[in-house]
Amino acid sequence: MIVVAVELGIEEDETPDQVRSAQPNPNAKLKVYMDHFEAKFLRETENYYANEAQAFLEHNPLTEYMKKVLIEAQLELFQNEFGALLEANKDDDLARMYKDAKLYVTTILAVHNRYSSLVGNAFQNESGFIQALDKAATTFINKNEVTSRSTSQQMSKSPELLAKYCDQLLRKSSKMPEENELEDMLTQVMVVFKYIEDKDVFSKFYTKMFSKRLISETSASEEAEVSLINKLKQMCGFEYTNRLSKMINDTQISKVH
């Protein structure tokens, strides 16, 4: 834990690139820490985990113990990676991400996709590693340095940022992606949506923006709108998307008449 903390820790003069690439900071001053804390901490940690390991092995086979150690280590790695990318302690970067829904969502997706590939390729999608990734993603997507800037302490900023990102994808613009590319992006939206804890908050923001697109006729593609509604329905059920479906049906009927 301490090694990871030191490797991912950020000195005042470190840049986000240094953090992401894990480049050592030549100016890091760890002498006090090493002299007065590290040795004792490592001894006590070693004793604690030795006892924990012994207790676990008394009731479980060695293969299960090895799997448990690997999965728990991977969970910590996932959480630290999310932290390293989003908690760079640079106020300007955090402020920009707080306002830039695309930057926020694509950053989360980049990390998740990287580790999802790792779980698939290196660990053959072993269920424990999938659960570790899911747990890390759920924790960090709903509570991190970006979302904590919200004025509401009871509400995460993530549902609103994800809804805004959807609005950017589905609204007419001069830089519209191709149909197949847009569909892939909507599929990726659902990766993040899966981990959103307060899906009703997402629905509130999304419905408001969806209504504006329909009224102002600024929706980029009716097919894409229906596609995302169907994806939401598949994950959350008919009731969750009932209002959205009715709104788009009413729009289609009005066009006929």
Predicted confidence at residue 137, as pLDDT, reads 86
Average pLDDT, integer, range 41-68: 61
Query: Residue 60 corresponds to which tokens in the numbers above?
Result: 């479980």
Q: Which residue has the higher pLDDT, 220 or 74?
A: 220
d(CA 211, CA 247): 8
| pTM: predicted TM-score of the whole model, two decimal places | 0.66
pLDDT > 90: percent of the chain: 33
Amino acid at 95: A
Q: Which of 121-135, 136-150, 206-220 has the lowest mean pLDDT?
A: 136-150
Domains in the chain, please, with CATH? 47-149 (1.20.1310.10), 158-190+198-256 (1.20.1310.10)
- The predicted-structure confidence for 228-238, as pLDDT tens digits, reads as follows 999 999 999 99
> Nearest-5° angle of CA 18, CA 23, CA 25?
85
pLDDT digits (tens, 9 = 90+) for 84-142: 655 554 555 556 666 789 888 988 888 888 888 878 887 788 888 888 888 888 988 88
Indicate if the pLDDT at residue 20 is higher than 50.
no
Task: Report the mean per-residue pLDDT for the chain.
Answer: 75
